Structure formats: structure tokens, C-alpha cells
Amino acid sequence: MCIKKITTGLLALTMVFSGAIMPMGTIAAETSITASAANKTYNYNGYQYIVLEDGTLEITAFDAAANGCKGKLEIPATINGKKVTSIGKYAFHGCTAFNELHIPEGVKTISDFGFYECSSVKKIVFPKSLTTICYCAFDNCKSLTAIDLPENIKDIGIFAFSGIVNVKSVLIPKSVVSIGEGAFGYKYVGRFSVQQMDDFTVKGYKGSAAEKYASDYGFKFIAEAEKTDGETKKIKGDLNGDGKVNVTDTTKLAAFLKGKISLPEGVDADINGDGKINVTDLTLLAACVKGYRIL
């Protein structure tokens, strides 16, 4: 596996001014959302926000102590009757108060450094409305165990998910049209230097941005099954029928083995093909989700 070390990536996108590092880079597709001229800020339950020109809201800062957040954070979809559509620059930067994050439906953009160094978060639930993840948005969220991207995502910025060493693979939806350098599969070796992870796998579709990203940076690429006549081919381990194999499927299989739920008809949960569904299948499925093996 080719190992590429980027020693100038972050520095090329930043400038040092009076001892502070100021971001300069953004993803190729700039967000069209702009704030109102006054840029007046408001506060609600620990969330600081502004009203954008279209009347929707952008969260610009978060006070975990004022919010009382412990463990699970569910960002509100509306505040005072107005929809939240954007997470602003540095809004949750460095917050370690939550280990599970739910971003609400309606959010379309996560700006530069939006959740940078939220080092305690292990699980993120993204909304289907999300289209743009900007520069370093989830950079160095080092406890994250999986990256389950929504189907409508289009643009993923430079270093968006860099420094996440526990995630060994990512399935990139066909909707994605641009992926910035270092977005996936890089680990930190020093404060401003990242190195390619030699055990990282990119999953996606033939001819897609995912395949190009894997080719450009030397990652292993696994092609997903294409949809035929409006249907998705049956995928081993896809227990909820969404066309992907991820942590949701392992949770579902674990619940089935404990007798808490029944599996939908037609799903293939016999991972090792021995005619039985047991803890061995759960172990193999979990290893696949973590990128340690291929089903």
C-alpha cells in the first residue's frame, strides 16, 4: 500500500497570525447561505445562533454547561419556530460533553471546523437533508467508530474526516460529486502533519467520486452493487434494506440474537454461510463494518 504523508496540507490551507491559526481553505463548492447584515446573535438553551437571509438559522456556538448535555446530544430542528439549516464555523469545536450526536433533518451545511476535535463522540447520525460538509468539519473526532454518510450528500471538504483512526472503511454515496484531499483515511503524525492509513478501504460505485478518490490517493476500493429496475441487489449483511452494511445492521443483528426483534423476510444474515444465524455471524459483520474484512 502506498503511504502518502502530507506535511504541508494543513499549513497550505492556514496562515499564522499573532500565534493563532486562521483557516483559509474551504471545499470546492462554497455554501450559498449568508447571514443577515446585522449578524445579531441569539441564545437558546446553550445554543448561540444567527438568522440567515432566508429566515432559517445557523448555530454559531454551543455552551455544553448551559445546555446540560451529558452523553447524547440532539441538536434541535427548530428554535423559536425557525428551522436550523446550518452549523457555523467552529460552532462545536473541541466540545467533549457528548459521545453521541444527532444532527437534525433540515440541516444542509456543516461549515469549516464545525465539530473539529469533538474527541469524545463515537456515533453521529446525519440527516438526509445534508448536502455539504466543509473543511475539517469532523477533523480529529478520534473516538468515532463509524461514518454513515446520508444519501444526498454532494460535497465533502478537505480533511473533513481526517484523524479518525478507528474507522477503517467508508461507504461514499453515489450522490457525492467532490471529495477534498485528506477527507478520509488519514491519521495525525504530529500537530499539523497527517499520514495515509495503509489499512483504509473506500467503498462506492464504479465511475463515482468515491472511486476517483481511492484512485487518486492509493486506497483500496470496493465497488457496491448498482441498483437495477428501481431495486437494490440483495447485499449480505444489509439487514435493514438500505443498500449499505453499517453499524445499524450490527445493532439489528445483535437485537435479533437476543430475541428482541425479528429480521425482515429476505435479508441475508447468515454471514459465514453455515445455514445458521449466531454470534459468529455478528462477529464477522462487525469486522466488516470496521473494515477488517470483506463479506
User: By the 8 A CB rule, do 121 and 141 touch?
Assistant: yes
d(CA 102, CA 135): 20
pLDDT classification of 284: cutoffs 50, 70, 90:
confident
Residue 186 pairs with which residues in a beta bridge?
Answer: 196
Q: Kindly state the cell numbers that stand for 164.
A: 479518525
CA angle, 273 as apex, 268 and 276 as ends, to 5°? 80
pLDDT reading at 98 higher than 50: yes
pLDDT classification of 227: cutoffs 50, 70, 90:
low
pLDDT reading at 110 higher than 60: yes
pLDDT tens figures, 115-149: 999 999 999 999 999 999 999 999 999 999 999 99
Helix and strand numbers (H, E) in the chain are 5, 22
| Those residues with Cβ within 8 angstroms of residue 91's Cβ, 6 or more apart along the chain or in another chain | 59, 60, 61, 62, 111, 114, 115
Please report the pLDDT score of residue 293 as a whole number: 60
Percentage with pLDDT > 70 across the chain: 82
User: By the 8 A CB rule, do 215 and 183 touch?
Assistant: no
Domains of the chain in sequence order: 41-223 (3.80.10.10), 229-294 (1.10.1330.10)
Residue 87 pairs with which residues in a beta bridge?
Answer: 59, 110
Please report the pLDDT score of residue 170 as a whole number: 96
CA angle, 139 as apex, 138 and 145 as ends, to 5°? 70
**CA separation (Å) from 280 to 23, 146, 273, 291?**
47, 21, 11, 17
| Average model confidence (pLDDT) across the chain | 84
Please report the pLDDT score of residue 28 as a whole number: 36
For the entire predicted model, the pTM comes to 0.70
